[in-house]
Structure 1
Amino acid sequence: MKEGVVNSAFVSNENLQLHRDDEQKPHEKAHEEEFSEGPCGWSNFTPSCLQCCNNAKGFVFIFGLLVIVQSVGYMMTILGVALGYIVGGQLLNIYVDVDQLQDVALSPEDPRWVGGWWIGYLIGLPAAWLLIVPFLGFPKHLPGTAKIHAEKVSQVHHDGSEDIVKEKDVGKSFKDFPLSLKLLLKNPVFMCLTLTATSEGMTSFGTSIFFTKFIENQYGKTASISSLIAGCVIIPGAAIGQVLGGLVVSKFKMKCKQTIRLAIATSFASLMFSACYVLAKCDNPEFAGISVENGATGNLSAPCNANYNCDRSHYNPVCGVNNVQYFSPCHAGCKDHVLLSKTEVYYNCSCIEDTHNTSESKAYSGKCATMCNKLPILMVLMLIAGIITCMTSTPVITAVLWCVPEKQRSFALGVQWAFIRLLGAIPAPILLGSAIDHSCILWDNSTPGSKGACLMYDNLKLASTFSLFSAAFKLISGIFIVVAYFLYKPPPGKDESNDKSSSTTLPN
């Protein structure tokens, strides 16, 4: 009797447990379906919120997140440049020969001052080597890479290169280098995108190198202050532009052709801001014998200093109380001087007295302060220009990764940067520097038989040179990106113009 009761109770409990299991099974099945192993391979990933990527929509979300991460990565490289501008600008306040600082009666405002340019290399070299250590910790492949590749929808430019790469398994050995390079060079979309990036690089590398000189000459700032201003204006704009470009591509889930359209829009929008240099230009400072007649325009000698036998090779500018700059105290006709807080004050200057008939004929060492107040205009325009210009970078790089076969992506980025460095970074300073030389109106002739550094520029010509250089290469960049748009052919059956389900299609 007791045994039957026990067996009956056992059966009852078993049925109850089975009933509970049946009630839980739908929930467990739903949970398993929700967090089953998907294209990301993150079914057991912590935090669990990232497990939602195990479906098509989730993959699109993660891809958009990766685009943003890529943009943030580029932003960090730009912030590094910003830090370099700021630190480098402060180092220019240290005299180049640090052991002779106490013996030098100069200030950073003096044009003869040479800052400690070499100190930055001593700081940057060990810091760069330290970055190698964390990079060694990355694995060859991230978890779930194979599953991601299996779920992708190709957007490679349809020119047959993808079939060749798959058939010959290109990329396994160094022997495939010639064929890989040939396939890339024959890809017209990739080449147009690469030339777009190269043209943008010409503008960026050229203007960034000489932008400090532009501020220094237009607004009469010291080298350290000019470097600080350049870093605080250009770099934040570039960083914001990089991230904003990635956000737009991610938010609208753009495909290859749509991404190229975005690059076209930003490229031509930035072209309009090439005129910002001319809009913010300043008038030339009053310089005796150059922009102000001192006996004869273009001649530093005048009746007031004719008996002084002034040395034309020794540039030591002084600013008179009449706010006119002179080549040297001798050219201002000054007879006496006194040192006050590392600033030379010159008295009894005949040229100042003869020119303006004033009883106070004295001058101060250094250039005259500029009365131009257009620097804020330049800062605002350059900030907007930097944002729009750098919004082009992320779409172009994303389009490059899409238009080439998957196994060639890393190689494609390497080839693109080789073009940017060889055809952009190297020639840009040479071309712009040569163009800037034509706007010089006063050369240093301290070395006989050779032309030294430029001592004074024509501000209008200098601003026009920057604007024309920037506009020319931005126009070239815009032309190449338009050609890439019309040459791009999506794979058969992947026509983006008729695709209405981009939000659920797995992008490549």
Structure 2
Amino acid sequence: MEQRIQSKITTVVLAIFFVSLLGVGMGQTAVYTLGIPYIDDNVASRESPLYFAITIGVRILGPALGFILGSLCTMVYADLTRTPQITPTDPRWVGAWWLGLVLISAMLMFVSIGMFAFPTRLPKSRTPPRRADAKKPSLRDFPSAVKRLLKNDILMFRTASSVLHILPIAGLYTFLPKYLESQFRLPAHHANMISGVGGILVMGLGIIISGVFILRAKPNARFVAAWIAFTAVVYAIGMSVLMFIGCPMDDFAGLVSHPDGLSSFEPTCEATCGCDRNKFSPICGADGRTYFSACHAGCSNYTVSDGKVESFYNCQCIGQNLTVPEAVISTATIGYCKLECSNFWVYMILFSVFVFIHSTSEVGSMLLILRCVDPRDKAMALGLIQFAIGLFGNYLMRHYFQQWRYIT
């Protein structure tokens, strides 16, 4: 009976979740595909780069602030009604990730009111008003518009580039905080903060600077296209270099690699208790090695301070081969052992530099898309690119990471 009730609750929650995502997707698509052409039609051509830079930069600033807000929210425990016996630095800590969604959705309610106040055309619009006898767009025009866009070679190459671009980018920024957690042993709230400031905020800065540069220098289309290609190559090389900058993960006790590529934790001694191999609660032994859990280390006692477990002792499996008094070596503290590795700042500096270089192509890319199509097809062109990204880019990225999670 209890399982049936739980199943119904899960179904309702997932239904609300997916409907909410559908609404968010519709809103984002409308703002992007209609908002950018709206700006382009209502400002002077020479000023478009600056307005695009501000628009795209603010759009990038949102995720950066989201990571920072997430950092603050994850310092609060997921269940607000409970006081856990662990701290935010404990690997077992689950922060209130949902709290940011509540705050942002409340703010969006007020912002949406302002969106309704936008007129059809701004007072100083450079677009002439529509004639009374002008033909209004209809669904019959849709096939011909799609045909025109599919025959546009520049747009098709740019669409393919956007799809290939989103494949690594979406996965990178989705899993960057978790990667920093596991690779450099950072707490969740620190990883979120660094991802927002060192990655996405730097991207927003590069976008605004590039918009100002294009406004002042007025480069031609060939230079803009060449710069887009150059930044893509630099970014690809940079991400490949970062693959080899990390910290060694060889301090785990009992970690065994199998011929099929999978790894597992095996007992390091004959402990007197049966351990759950699915409950990962890492502890740092006095021997400098990280153990899967206190049970895997054979710990039989623990100390409590302020109602929270502080350390373990009488651990049978810790430091068996070391000539140190047993009372000292058989102790352990909660969490990972500290890494003797200084590559974190090297990784983040190089990452920020490559992200900055690549972000300087965003404004030029937007101008290239809008100038290579007929003015009446601007919104349609942006919609086509978003459709291709959603269908091929995001879907393939999620499929790849699902397979990756299954393999690892």
Could you say which TM-score interval applies, normalised by the shorter chain? Answer: 0.7 to 0.9
**Post-superposition shift, 1:370?**
1.9
1:358 aligns with 2:317: no
The whole-number CA distance in structure 1 between the counterparts of 2:118 and 2:127 is 19
Counterpart position of 1:213: 178
The whole-number CA distance in structure 2 between the counterparts of 1:128 and 1:214 is 30
SS in 2 for 1:98: coil
Counterpart position of 1:450: none
1:373 aligns with 2:342: yes
**Post-superposition shift, 1:108?**
1.7
Asked whether the equivalents of residues 235 and 357 of structure 2 are also in contact (C-alpha less than 8 Å), the reply is yes
1:267 aligns with 2:236: no
Asked whether the equivalents of residues 78 and 97 of structure 2 are also in contact (C-alpha less than 8 Å), the reply is yes
**Shift in alpha-carbon separation, 1:354–1:142, aligned structure 2, 3 A:** same
**Post-superposition shift, 1:251?**
2.7
1:120 aligns with 2:86: no
1:196 aligns with 2:178: no
1:411 aligns with 2:380: yes
Please point out which of 279, 293, 306 is paired with 1:328.
293
**Shift in alpha-carbon separation, 1:106–1:86, aligned structure 2, 3 A:** same
**Post-superposition shift, 1:148?**
7.6
1:81 aligns with 2:66: no
The whole-number CA distance in structure 2 between the counterparts of 1:262 and 1:400 is 15
Asked whether the equivalents of residues 302 and 309 of structure 2 are also in contact (C-alpha less than 8 Å), the reply is no
**Post-superposition shift, 1:298?**
5.5
Structure 1 residue ranges without an equivalent (≥5): 1-60, 150-168, 441-508
**Shift in alpha-carbon separation, 1:77–1:147, aligned structure 2, 3 A:** closer
**Shift in alpha-carbon separation, 1:176–1:354, aligned structure 2, 3 A:** same
**Post-superposition shift, 1:259?**
2.1
Asked whether the equivalents of residues 47 and 215 of structure 2 are also in contact (C-alpha less than 8 Å), the reply is yes
**Shift in alpha-carbon separation, 1:63–1:336, aligned structure 2, 3 A:** same
The amino acid across from 1:255 in the alignment is N
Question: 126-135 or 200-209: which moved more?
Answer: 126-135
Larger radius of gyration: 1
Name the % identity: 25
What pairs with 1:245-256 in structure 2 (closer than 5 Å)? 245-256=210-221
What pairs with 1:64-143 in structure 2 (closer than 5 Å)? 64-101=46-83, 104-143=84-123
**Post-superposition shift, 1:100?**
1.4
SS in 1 for 2:349: helix
SS in 1 for 2:145: helix
**Post-superposition shift, 1:138?**
2.1
Asked whether the equivalents of residues 79 and 235 of structure 1 are also in contact (C-alpha less than 8 Å), the reply is yes
Asked whether the equivalents of residues 335 and 348 of structure 1 are also in contact (C-alpha less than 8 Å), the reply is yes
**Shift in alpha-carbon separation, 1:236–1:353, aligned structure 2, 3 A:** closer
Asked whether the equivalents of residues 259 and 395 of structure 1 are also in contact (C-alpha less than 8 Å), the reply is yes
1:300 aligns with 2:266: yes
The whole-number CA distance in structure 1 between the counterparts of 2:124 and 2:313 is 79
What pairs with 1:399-478 in structure 2 (closer than 5 Å)? 399-435=368-404, 438=407, 440=408
The amino acid across from 2:109 in the alignment is W
SS in 2 for 1:356: coil
What number of residue pairs does the alignment pair up?
353
The whole-number CA distance in structure 1 between the counterparts of 2:300 and 2:249 is 28
1:348 aligns with 2:314: yes
Asked whether the equivalents of residues 343 and 364 of structure 1 are also in contact (C-alpha less than 8 Å), the reply is no
The amino acid across from 1:374 in the alignment is N
Please point out which of 230, 234, 237 is paired with 2:202.
237
Counterpart position of 1:313: 278
**Shift in alpha-carbon separation, 1:225–1:146, aligned structure 2, 3 A:** closer
Asked whether the equivalents of residues 95 and 113 of structure 1 are also in contact (C-alpha less than 8 Å), the reply is yes
The whole-number CA distance in structure 1 between the counterparts of 2:396 and 2:143 is 26
Asked whether the equivalents of residues 82 and 235 of structure 1 are also in contact (C-alpha less than 8 Å), the reply is yes
Counterpart position of 1:478: none
Residue-by-residue CA offset, 1:32-68 (whole Å, 9 max, x unaligned): xxxxxxxxxxxxxxxxxxxxxxxxxxxxx95333211
**Post-superposition shift, 1:299?**
5.5
The RMSD of aligned alpha carbons is 2.4
**Shift in alpha-carbon separation, 1:117–1:254, aligned structure 2, 3 A:** same
What pairs with 1:168-207 in structure 2 (closer than 5 Å)? 172-207=137-172
**Shift in alpha-carbon separation, 1:417–1:175, aligned structure 2, 3 A:** same
The whole-number CA distance in structure 2 between the counterparts of 1:315 and 1:398 is 50
**Shift in alpha-carbon separation, 1:109–1:141, aligned structure 2, 3 A:** same
SS in 2 for 1:230: helix
The whole-number CA distance in structure 2 between the counterparts of 1:205 and 1:313 is 29
Asked whether the equivalents of residues 171 and 407 of structure 1 are also in contact (C-alpha less than 8 Å), the reply is no
**Shift in alpha-carbon separation, 1:335–1:129, aligned structure 2, 3 A:** same
Question: 307-316 or 186-195: which moved more?
Answer: 307-316
Structure 2 residue ranges without an equivalent (≥5): 1-42, 258-262
The whole-number CA distance in structure 1 between the counterparts of 2:171 and 2:264 is 30
**Shift in alpha-carbon separation, 1:367–1:432, aligned structure 2, 3 A:** same
SS in 2 for 1:286: coil
**Post-superposition shift, 1:278?**
2.4
SS in 2 for 1:409: helix
Counterpart position of 1:398: 367
**Post-superposition shift, 1:362?**
0.6
The amino acid across from 2:63 in the alignment is V
**Shift in alpha-carbon separation, 1:396–1:299, aligned structure 2, 3 A:** closer
Counterpart position of 2:23: none
Residue-by-residue CA offset, 1:2-30 (whole Å, 9 max, x unaligned): xxxxxxxxxxxxxxxxxxxxxxxxxxxxx
The amino acid across from 2:117 in the alignment is G
The whole-number CA distance in structure 1 between the counterparts of 2:349 and 2:358 is 14
Residue-by-residue CA offset, 1:298-347 (whole Å, 9 max, x unaligned): 65224442x33333233322111111111222221222211124243111
